[in-house]
């Protein structure tokens, strides 16, 4: 992260007790949290840290990243999902999803919807831009 131009503090990654059943998350300005009370295996912790580090890197490198913008958030989720190996077939089998083909379609149904929404908004934006620009 520092080589990419982003400084990180000593407590950039934290193991915390979470009230909601989530594995962890990344918060701008606070860093990565791993919900220790929902992690059973070291591999789960590793996966969460890798996934959230990708979000942190995106946040570091994209000057105009707006986490409240669905398209920006979806893009980072897709990158984190694919680069971290979240959708790898072995991980899907461990989750109880036994198909070897088509696992990515089920793994990210929300992301697929957000990507569709983002593309629709881009089409609308460029249509408006052609008329008014």
Q: Annotated catalytic, 30?
A: no
Instruction: Give the separation between CA 34 and CA 44, rounded to whole angstroms.
Output: 10
Structure tokens belonging to residue 74: 């979806």
Catalytic residue from among 2, 44, 52, 77: 52
DSSP 8-state class, residue 77:
H
Let me know: does 23 contact 31? Beta carbons within 8 Å. no
Sheet of strand 31-35, all strands in order from the earlier edge strand to the far edge: 13-16, 31-35, 24-27
Phi, psi for 91 (deg, rounded to 5): -65, -35
Structure tokens at 45: 């912790």
Which active-site residues does the annotation give? Answer: 52
């Amino acid at each position: 992260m520092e080589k990419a131009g982003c400084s990180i503090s000593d407590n950039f990654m934290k193991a915390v007790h979470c009230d909601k059943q989530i594995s962890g998350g990344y918060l701008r300005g606070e860093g990565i949290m791993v919900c220790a009370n929902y992690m059973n295996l070291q591999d789960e912790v590793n996966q969460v840290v890798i996934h959230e580090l990708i979000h942190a890197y995106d946040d570091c490198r994209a000057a105009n990243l707006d986490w409240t913008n669905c398209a920006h958030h979806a893009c980072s989720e897709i990158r984190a999902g694919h680069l971290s190996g979240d959708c790898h077939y072995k991980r899907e089998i461990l989750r109880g999803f036994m198909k070897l083909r088509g696992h990515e379609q089920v793994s990210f149904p929300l992301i697929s919807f957000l990507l569709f929404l983002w593309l629709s908004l881009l089409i609308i934006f460029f249509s408006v831009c052609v008329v008014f620009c």
